[in-house]
């Protein structure tokens, strides 16, 4: 049995892949010392010269990774906190996302950008953000947001093997919170697949990251009340596996989508639109979105942070109302 935290699963994946392929370089701030979350701990010593401390400049981290990938290496860029990735937005959006498109496949970028995202860690406005909506609006970039250690392990390997730029989102609250036996758990090996994690006849809850775990806890509580939930773990946001989610929506007729990001223009809007467009005749209730309020960012102080974030109680409450509709 190899029970691991999310963080250990990520580190193991990096280690295993770097051992296999000497073309993998890790680029990021403080990564030689293991990084602030220690995801790269031990790698600099094991793979001399292949773990590269970068200046404190995210545009450089992403831009240099693009160049290294263009040359033919497999750079894995670490953004210290997803909140700071926006200085590299231009390189992801204007460059990496269209490197293959604009050259008609003459050039491509086998690169991974890892970014710890999400709240619940008292990180305030700039260490808690959800960034997925911005970066899922870029055809050409793949966006992966797992929830369980086994999926982190297998999907990070898939991201490294992928010939395209992959933004690999790691929910920082789950880093040490969630444990799993890697061999026992299902491990998704393909980017672009979602998973039905729990099956129930009454409502479908769609989530990813920390909110997937909160949704499963809410589903457990609702089950005790006689409300049976299907829970869909999206795993990949771009390209999105619409069919798995739609299958669940058609089966239950009621859909609740949950995320930590602000409501308006959040990823839930895409889920709701797909369900409305392709499963309308199966619906028994309007699609419900449970998300953070439309304020600019997550506040620091504990009570406000809790108010901002969805959690198992809020999900259960929304689920109850949806089931009763």
Q: What residues are annotated to the active site? A: 127
Rounded-to-integer distance, Cα 38 and Cα 53, Å: 14
Establish if 189 lies at the interface with another protein (CB under 8 A).
Answer: no
Considering only 19, 20, 46, 90, the residue that binds another protein (CB under 8 A) is: 90
Binding-residue total with another protein (CB under 8 A): 43
Q: How far is the CB of 57 from another protein (least distance, A)?
A: 5
Give the binding range for another protein (CB under 8 A) out of 5-13, 57-65, 277-285, 298-306. Answer: 57-65
In the complex with another protein, which residue's Cβ is closer, 165 or 310? Answer: 165
In the complex with another protein, which residue's Cβ is closer, 46 or 176? Answer: 46
Rounded-to-integer distance, Cα 322 and Cα 205, Å: 10
Establish if 264 lies at the interface with another protein (CB under 8 A).
Answer: no
Residue 302 CA from chain centroid, whole number: 24
Please enumerate in sequence order all residues whose Cβ is within 8 A of that of 100, keeping only pairs 6 or more positions apart, or say none.
107, 108, 109, 140, 164
Which residues is 24 bridged to in the sheet? 74
Establish if 60 lies at the interface with another protein (CB under 8 A).
Answer: yes
Establish if 199 lies at the interface with another protein (CB under 8 A).
Answer: no
Establish if 226 lies at the interface with another protein (CB under 8 A).
Answer: no
DSSP 8-state class, residue 182: T
Establish if 237 lies at the interface with another protein (CB under 8 A).
Answer: no
Considering only 102, 122, 176, 189, the residue that binds another protein (CB under 8 A) is: 102
Q: Closest Cα to residue 38, out of 12, 68, 65?
A: 12
Establish if 54 lies at the interface with another protein (CB under 8 A).
Answer: yes
Please enumerate in sequence order all residues whose Cβ is within 8 A of that of 238, keeping only pairs 6 or more positions apart, or say none.
135, 136, 138, 139, 141, 142, 143
Q: Is the peptide bond between 162 and the residue preceding it cis, with omega within 30 degrees of 0?
A: no
By CB under 8 A, what part of segment 149-168 binds another protein?
163-164
In the complex with another protein, which residue's Cβ is closer, 90 or 294? Answer: 90
DSSP 8-state class, residue 95: I
Residue 18, CA distances (Å) to 50, 152, 248 in order: 9, 16, 38
Q: How far is the CB of 56 from another protein (least distance, A)?
A: 10
In the complex with another protein, which residue's Cβ is closer, 76 or 316? Answer: 76
Establish if 266 lies at the interface with another protein (CB under 8 A).
Answer: no
* Burial classification of residue 125, based on how many CB atoms lie within 10 Å of its CB (0-12 exposed, 13-18 middle, 19 or more buried): middle
Q: How far is the CB of 88 from another protein (least distance, A)?
A: 10
Considering only 11, 91, 172, 288, the residue that binds another protein (CB under 8 A) is: 91
Establish if 48 lies at the interface with another protein (CB under 8 A).
Answer: no
Which contacts qualify for 271-278: CB closer than 8 Å, 24 or more apart? 271/206, 271/245, 274/240, 274/242, 274/245, 274/246, 275/245, 275/246, 275/249, 278/242, 278/246
Residue 52 CA from chain centroid, whole number: 24
Give the binding range for another protein (CB under 8 A) out of 53-61, 201-209, 288-296, 300-308. Answer: 53-61
Residue 104, CA distances (Å) to 101, 107, 139 in order: 5, 8, 14
Give the binding range for another protein (CB under 8 A) out of 49-57, 203-211, 241-249, 301-309. Answer: 49-57
By CB under 8 A, what part of segment 122-151 binds another protein?
139-140, 142
Residues that bind another protein (CB under 8 A): 23, 25, 49-50, 52, 54-55, 57, 59-60, 63-73, 75, 90-91, 94-95, 98-108, 110, 139-140, 142, 163-164
């Amino acid at each position: 049995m190899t029970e691991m935290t999310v963080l250990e699963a990520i580190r193991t994946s990096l280690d295993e892949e770097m051992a296999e392929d000497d073309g993998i370089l890790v680029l990021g701030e403080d990564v030689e010392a293991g990084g602030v979350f220690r995801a790269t701990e031990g790698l600099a010593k094991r793979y001399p010269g292949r773990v590269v401390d970068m200046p404190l400049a995210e545009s450089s981290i992403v831009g240099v990774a693009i160049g290294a990938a263009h040359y033919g290496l497999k750079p894995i860029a670490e953004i210290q906190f997803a909140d700071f990735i926006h200085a590299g937005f231009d390189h992801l959006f204007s460059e990496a996302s269209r490197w293959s498109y604009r050259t008609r496949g003459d050039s491509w970028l086998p690169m991974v950008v890892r970014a710890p995202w999400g709240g619940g860690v008292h990180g305030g406005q700039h260490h808690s953000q959800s960034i997925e909506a911005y970066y899922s609006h870029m055809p050409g970039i793949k966006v992966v947001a797992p929830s369980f250690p086994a999926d982190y392990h297998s999907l990070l390997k898939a991201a490294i093997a992928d010939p395209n730029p992959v933004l690999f989102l790691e929910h920082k609250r789950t880093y040490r919170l969630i444990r799993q036996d890697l061999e026992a758990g299902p491990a998704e090996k393909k980017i672009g697949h979602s998973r039905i994690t729990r099956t129930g006849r009454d409502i479908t809850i769609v989530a990813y990251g920390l909110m997937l775990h909160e949704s499963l806890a809410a589903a457990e509580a609702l089950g005790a009340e006689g409300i049976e939930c299907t829970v869909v773990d999206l795993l990949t946001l771009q390209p999105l596996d619409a069919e798995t989610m739609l299958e669940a929506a058609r089966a239950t007729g009621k859909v609740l989508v949950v995320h930590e990001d602000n409501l308006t223009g959040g990823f839930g809007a895409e889920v709701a639109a797909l369900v409305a467009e392709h499963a309308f005749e199966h619906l028994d209730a309007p699609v419900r979105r449970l998300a953070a309020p439309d304020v600019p960012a997550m506040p620091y102080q504990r009570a406000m942070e809790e108010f901002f974030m969805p959690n198992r109680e809020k999900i259960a409450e929304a689920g109850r109302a949806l089931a009763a509709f």
